[in-house]
Structure 1
Amino acid sequence: MEIKNNILTPIEFMSIIIGNIIGVGILVLPANVSKYAYEDGWISIILGSIYPFYICLLGIYISKIYPDKNILFLSRKYFGKIVGNILNFLFFTIFIYNAITGLAPTGYILVNFLSFFLNKNNTIFLISLVALYTVFKDLKLIGRLNIVMLFITIFLLTFPLPGIKEGQMLNIRPVFKSSISQILKGAYETIFSYTGIEVFFLIYPYVENKKKIKSYSLKACLFVLISYSWVQFICLYYLGSETINKVNWPLITTTETLIIPLINNMRYIFIFLWVNIIIKTISNNYFFSTYIFADIIGGKIDRKFVVILVFPVILFISTYFENAVIINNFIKLATPFVLAYTIFFITIIAILVKKDVSYGKNV
């Protein structure tokens, strides 16, 4: 992509990071965390946030040294073209994974709550077409889309507010009851919900004001942490830890507390709007996967053609899962590998950058 045609404002930069993290994961986060940490799930969420903050801090450091070069360039610089592109291809699979694990569960959510007249595969196909249309656009449009969805996200997070009147203080007590082992297990369950921060390393060269990268990226991580903590609190306060563990989508359940005259069920409005949030996250990961792949092949094929090549891959894998249980098992199996590779890849790059600085090499 030509940088001159894809300059991002700091708020667009922040919105893309937030938009790439918050999606379908927040819907299942309270149930996943409360399964182990119970009333202390908020501690697990804070501990889980170490991952995005760590990755963010590495990104801030690297972006200061190489403000105009992304991680794909640095990978080839330090490991050579062949090994570097292999590492970049593995990085590409992370974004494919994020797109698939957003798309596949969304199909089941819609079939269960809204699109009763469509089967799961048809629903996934329609969502894919919407994402396909978005991905054909440029980075600037992606940035603007994420800003709009950020405000919608903030609005939707207020839906469970009436649950404060319906909830009970007993549901969030006793505090510090869980053991360290249980809290750590709960923190481990947050990993999937925190994936997406990796997009930082692809977009920072396009930020028009590089001096604001640090503050806006940290604000993005803080916003995600506060959002997750709020959702964990309100779901626990309204439902209680025992009920949360019996509900597939606790956040959706809490929206029933919002009652507006002439509107039969706010749950359907919430789901309809939140699906747009998830589609945005799918589009983000789809877009950046095609960006990485086009970079790997050296720009020999136009990115829009890569969009067409990647589309059937994402669609096929997303429709392959027969039910939600299989999807959840796949996520639990694959997410640790995604986390491990991301930490390894980015940490090694940061160490090599630091080594260049230490030896006074021209960077």
Structure 2
Amino acid sequence: MASSLETTFSREWLRRGALACVLWPLSLLFRGLAAVRRGLYALGVSHAERLPVPVVVVGNIFIGGTGKTPLTIWLVDALRAAGFRPGVVSRGFGSTDAAPREVSAVSTPAEVGDEPVLIAARTGCPVFVGRARAAAGEALLAAYPEVNIIVTDDGLQHYALARDIEIVLFDGRGVGNGWTLPAGPLREAPSRKRDFTVVNAPELTAALCTAIAPPGAARGGAPAAPWQMRLAGDVAERLAERSERMTLAELARRAGQGDGLRVAAAAGIGNPGRFFAMLRTAGLEPQELPLPDHHDFKDRPFANVEADFILVTEKDAVKCWQIEELRNDPRIWVVPVSARIDAALADQIVEKLRGRTPA
């Protein structure tokens, strides 16, 4: 039922159908309350905790996945290359503990969330999770005093943590029907100010750019024109032994020729279609198995899947690894992806940070 309801709303949020129109008056109330809440923090009525190091927030106003985790990983790598020593804080979706907690090599997605586990593994930088991001940041800095910049994975609407730079991420869905919850997919109005706009899409059209970064959306004079992000992945790694690899091109060749390999693909992310589209670009035509975002895989979704290869995202792989049956399933292969963005974006972010970093 939950999956069916999610599908219904996802469909309605991309158009202005009957259900969206019925909910539109409620969306005006939601939009107004969101603006009031943001205004209270801006005016200092509500207190925002400021950490002793600069804070960069990576977030979205479109509900669900737009690619924040790959962008966070890219940003951490870019900041490290520029001489910074970054740390990451996150809410940790599904975390069992509200208090600040470090993501270690033995942390599980059930304890700290799937995305923080992936970020820690891919970046090697300190990662802390907690319901209160400011408290998580303070705990991180106490444990790692050498860290001189904090990147927040998600948390755009978590105004209790003061921030120096806001990066708002969209994908090819743009702003959907342009309405806020519950009539549309937006947490805030598209005109919400930000420092940088990034769009995760294979193509940037003029209409898409105008919708996601309307005039006046820039904060502090930063250019509002969006930066394009592409997610690229060209290899698959066996879940049971990640050193065993095969290019997607080779897998596509084998599946399309005499070998007759059957390929399926599963994605428990906010926009599964983006993962499937990437695989099709690589020449594959997999059986598509879309799953709810943050799916825990405890329902054995592959038990009746007839396939020689089952391709999954890295975010899903960290949960599959926790289940012995899936960890030992030779059919499951992981497709790592990396964000590809113009390096000039990193230069502009670093330029805005210069002078804000404590000596």
Regarding TM over 0.5, the answer is: no
Per chain length, whose mean CA-contact separation is higher, i.e. which structure has more relative contact order (CA < 8 Å, sep 6+)?
Answer: 1
Higher strand share: 2
| TM score, norm. by length of structure 1 | 0.27
| TM score, norm. by length of structure 2 | 0.27
